[in-house]
Structure 1
Amino acid sequence: MKWTIATVTFRYHLHSYREIIRFAEECGSDGLELWEPHWLRHRSDIRQFASAFPIHAMSAYLDLTDFSLLGWKQRLLDKLDACRELGIPVLRLFSGTLSSSLAVERDWEQWFRRIEGINRVAEPYGVQVAFETHPGTLLDRAAGVDRFCQAISRNGWQQIGINFDAYHVWEFGVNPQSVLDEWHPYIRHVHVKNAAIRTKQFAMSNVYHPSGCFDELRPLGEGQVCIRTVMEGLCRYRYKDAVTLEWFGLPDGTLLKSEIQFLRELTANYKQEVS
């Protein structure tokens, strides 16, 4: 696996892109997950250093359940163009802002038609489009993710998959490790984070607020989600792509270095146990 740090960690701090790369290297990271607003604001710097340090995913935004949205295809193409230019293999999106609890059959049908189009458009780019398991979206409970996986398989969508966020899957009320049996063929990217309780501090309204509160967040080994079993499950299914440490607190180099080391040791220990 490849261990990456999300540049969204630096969303409210004055660091150049070169400084973020140096920070990530010192933490032992294998690369970055690029937050789309960083790309939109600092294109020249990112272009200059794109070959110096790998970017394994772009975390971007496009409300694909707003079926009145005009120009969504061009917005998608802009994101795919950026991925191709920077050599990014995965584009992370959300399904949209419609919760599965509010969606009717027609919503799913319209969304799947859009996914069919996205798969077709993304193919010549060679980019995987991964939709995150996330509250308030079509993929906010296990049944919705199951339905999505079945549609990927049924339609043969080669460029479409899941961004598996272990904490958010735990919020669904299921063990993240247990659903890997069904979902692992469709996972294209992984997010790991943790918290002391079932917190609202990962909500976008808090994460992107300048005075957001993050006191309930915890290191990976100390929160409610058993990251160890999640990583063991990914190892068992030979997942080899990127795992992003999605840290929303202050950019603490000591903490992030410890987290990357924690992940490396978990997977190393698993390999030793099964060898």
Structure 2
Amino acid sequence: MRTIKGPAIFLAQFAGDEAPFNTLESMADWAAGLGYKGLQVPSGDARLFDLEKAAESQTYCDEVTGMLADKGLCITELSTHLQGQLVAVHPAYDVQFDGFAAPHVRGNPKARQAWAVEQMKLAAKASRRLGLTAQASFSGALAWPYFYAWPQRPAGLVEDAFDELARRWKPILDVFDENGVDIGFELHPGEDLHDGATFEMFLDRVGNHPRANILYDPSHFVLQQLDYLAFLDIYHSRVKCFHVKDAEFRPNGRVGVYGGYQNWADRPGRFRSLGDGQVDFGQIFSKLAQYDFAGWAVLEWECALKHPEQGAAEGAPFIERHIIRVTDRAFDDFAGSGSDRMLNAHLMGIGE
């Protein structure tokens, strides 16, 4: 067993145009001051990180890691959530997702997808140069508009959508394999990979690719009413990244899982700051320790009520309290009588 690394923080929800949230160095100072030891860095935010430069320049990567090391920090993973989303976009979302892409490919879905694929490949190379072994991403979606089958889905629609999704991702996964980096797909409503069943459908189509893995975020499972602890029992060998994010689900007589088009504060299912929701993090950290999770515990702050800076300040000590320093011996070793084959035979009544 290994002790989980942390606490770390995902910078995407905090980045902005005002100091200290507008450069990686100033955000690193802020995060270190709160007690964080790692940063999950959004690779598509030019204010923080130059992805193309990182893919080509070992010097740039060494400068970044050296600057962070001087502050007692490291990069846990790069995030390619926005680029991964654009690998597969249903036309219904073209306008909304155009903002995720570089200006020169907006309004051109084919060019946007090609750009996203290239971005993913650059991120694989950058991760290798940074000495990282995993990356956090989204799968994108072609079937999501049809998740609730009314009108009835045409036969084979979902299967064809997953065939196409796998066709697009297989070459990307191969580049990640060449660079020794896993993709942790965040299983998330809105993505075709949003639960265990859909992950299995994808995994089957990419030939159980060793680089197709999972970013585990229990908050999304609370909102889907999926057993997030049993999920770890089933899929722990594929869990390579971990977002520590809380949530609650409180259905009422008016609204349930689908949220009634209400804003986040009024939905029965809503994300909360750590400790304010219903997620049993004690059990989660125990299972991850039991299953020898080798990665980082990374705060992703999303809350309908609490200010982000308060959530960030409370997050580091919360994670620190939950990290289990794994034992190097059994609790009953003091009562052991050593190893003796003759004694064992005698105890079983088979000795001479």
Tell me which interval the TM-score lies in, with the shorter structure as reference length.
0.7 to 0.9
Which residue of structure 2 lines up, in the alignment, with residue 142 of structure 1? 196
Find the counterpart in structure 2 of residue 2 from structure 1.
Answer: 5
Work out whether 1:85 is the aligned partner of 2:129: yes
1:96 equivalent in alignment to 2:152 = no
1:172–1:213 CA distance, 2 compared to 1 (3 A) = closer
Residue 47 of structure 1: how far off its partner (Å): 6.4
CA contact (8 A) 2:11 2:39 kept: yes
Once the two structures are superposed, the pairs formed by residues 230-249 of structure 1 within 5 Å of their partners are: 230-248=284-302, 249=307
Distance 1:8 1:213 in 2: 21
Per-residue deviation, 1:150? 4.7
Question: 1:18, 1:257 → 2: CA distance?
Answer: 19
Q: Which amino acid in structure 2 is aligned with residue 48 of structure 1? A: E
Q: 1:20-169 alignment to 2 at 5 Å?
A: 20-38=27-45, 40-43=46-49, 48-51=63-66, 52=69, 53-60=73-80, 61-62=82-83, 63-66=86-89, 68=110, 69-98=113-142, 99=144, 101=147, 104-151=158-205, 155-169=207-221
Residue identity matched to 1:14? A
Q: Is the 8 A contact 1:9 1:251 kept in 2?
A: no
Give the distance between the partners of 2:27 and 2:199, measured in 1 at CA: 33
Q: Unpaired segments of 5 or more residues in structure 1?
A: 200-211
Partner of 2:281: 227
Q: C-alpha offsets along residues 59-94 of structure 1, whole Å, 9 cap, x if unaligned?
A: 112322238533443222222233233333222111
Secondary structure of the 1:10 match is coil
Letter in 1 for 2:183: V
Distance, in Å, in 2 between the alignment partners of 1:173 and 1:127 is 31
In terms of mean alpha carbon deviation, does 18-27 or 115-124 score higher? Answer: 18-27
User: Which residue identity is paired with 2:121?
Assistant: L
Q: 1:75 to 1:113 in 2, by over 3 A?
A: same
Residues 72 and 22 from structure 1, CA distance in 2 versus in 1: closer, same or farther, beyond 3 angstroms? closer
Tell me the distance in 1 between the aligned counterparts of 2:122 and 2:245.
29
Task: Decide which moves more: 243-252 or 160-169.
Answer: 243-252
1:251 deviation in Å?
A: 2.4
> How far 1:17 moved relative to its partner?
2.0
Structure 1 residue 46, shift from structure 2 partner: 7.8
Q: 2:160 and 2:236 mapped to 1: Cα distance?
A: 28
Letter in 2 for 1:256: G
User: Measured at CA, do residues 196 and 120 of structure 1 come closer, stay the same or move farther in structure 2, by a change above 3 Å?
Assistant: closer
Unmatched 5+ residue regions in structure 2?
Answer: 51-59, 91-109, 149-156, 252-263, 332-352
2:139 aligned counterpart, secondary structure: coil
Cα distance change, pair 8–73 in 1 and its aligned pair in 2 (3 A): closer
Higher deviation after alignment, 137-146 or 63-72: 63-72
Query: In structure 2, what is the Cα distance between the partners aligned to 1:84 and 1:198?
Result: 43
User: Matched residues, percent identical?
Assistant: 23
The count of aligned residue pairs is 257
**Structure 1 contact 96–137 (Cα < 8 Å) conserved:** yes
Deviation track 1:144-184 (CA, whole Å, cap 9, x = no partner) reads 133345556xx241222111111112222212111112111
Query: What secondary structure does 2:175 align onto?
Result: helix
Structure with the greater alpha carbon radius of gyration = 2
Distance 2:265 2:276 in 1: 19
Partner Cα distance (1:148, 1:179) in 2: 17
Note the aligned Cα RMSD (angstroms): 3.2
SS at match of 1:5: strand
State the TM-score, normalized to the length of structure 2.
Answer: 0.64
Contact 1:171 1:198 in 2 (8 A): no
Aligned to 1:209: none
AA aligned to 2:214 is I
Q: What is the TM-score normalised by the length of structure 1?
A: 0.79
Could you tell me which of 226, 229, 237 is aligned with 1:185? 237
Query: Structure 2 vs 1, CA of residues 96 and 217 (structure 1 numbering), >3 Å: closer, same or farther?
Result: closer
1:11 aligns with 2:15: yes
Distance 1:177 1:163 in 2: 14
